[in-house]
Amino acid sequence: MDHALLNNHLFLKPFNILGAMFARWYGANESWTNVSMKLFGPWYLETDVLANVLYEERGIKLLVGAFVPLFGTPRGRLLQQFAKKKGIALTWALGQATMDPFKDRPPKHKTMPSFKAGPRILDLTTSASARLNVSSHGSARCAFEKLWEDVASVRGPSGELAQEKAWALWARAETELHSSRVALPAPGMCADWDACIGTLLTGECVCYRSTTADIVV
């Protein structure tokens, strides 16, 4: 990821990609982390890595699923299956709360949609296979699956999810699954940056199993 940020920063200097990314990742409150796409600049960062990913060496440390287009859908289940098969941690994030950021972006004369940062939701169906130092109560797993079913039930005929419903469902997820909310760790918060994917609201680090003690959520 470092080389992707640096390459894109040098190539697209006017957008100040590094500044926007660090504000989004480590800002103390939403006034910093809620960076609009207009200020952020490019829609995605190209890594252009021409190599095979070494999953057993944690070539991919974390998968982040887009809540609106994937949560509660067959494609979302496929993402969970992939995470389980490869032993990769999976979290969910709201982002722009749109089905497709390319198709759903407003005309140029309108304000670009904001990006909601903040904690992600840990996928409780895949944390065990990823061998994280987190174990969940049965009630938490039931709440996760119930939310999955409820999101699926309010989608339209083509699987679409209205933005207003998405915001409400995400707020519910943050409330009912508050113990599973994982934020990006600030530098120095976790002993092993390569093994840890984030911090719980309690400040404890969520990491791939090594010598860290288990955390119950």
Q: For residues 117 and 35, is the Cβ–Cβ distance under 8 A?
A: yes
Q: Is residue 108 part of a domain?
A: no
Q: Is residue 95 part of a domain?
A: yes
- The arithmetic mean of pLDDT across residues 190-202, rounded, is 87
In this predicted structure, the answer to whether residue 102 has a pLDDT above a threshold of 50 is yes
Structure tokens at 94: 């709201």
What's the pTM?
0.78
Alpha carbon distance 47, 26 (integer Å): 22
Summarised one tens digit per residue, pLDDT across range 33-54 is: 665 555 445 555 666 666 778 8
Look at residue 111 in the predicted model and tell me its pLDDT: 46
Alpha carbon distance 48, 40 (integer Å): 20
Give me the number of domains the chain comprises: 1
- The arithmetic mean of pLDDT across residues 123-138, rounded, is 87
Alpha carbon distance 59, 75 (integer Å): 23
Q: For residues 144 and 137, is the Cβ–Cβ distance under 8 A?
A: no
Alpha carbon distance 182, 187 (integer Å): 15
Range of the domain at 148: 17-30+50-103+115-207
Look at residue 112 in the predicted model and tell me its pLDDT: 46
Q: Is residue 175 part of a domain?
A: yes
Q: Is residue 6 part of a domain?
A: no
Q: Is residue 7 part of a domain?
A: no
* In 36-89, alpha helices (H): 37-40, 67-70, 74-86
* In 94-202, alpha helices (H): 138-153, 163-176
85-89, 154-158, 181-185, range with the lowest pLDDT: 181-185
Look up tokens 């840890």; give the residue: 196
Q: Is residue 90 part of a domain?
A: yes
Summarised one tens digit per residue, pLDDT across range 58-94 is: 888 899 999 999 999 999 999 999 999 999 999 999 8
In this predicted structure, the answer to whether residue 110 has a pLDDT above a threshold of 60 is no
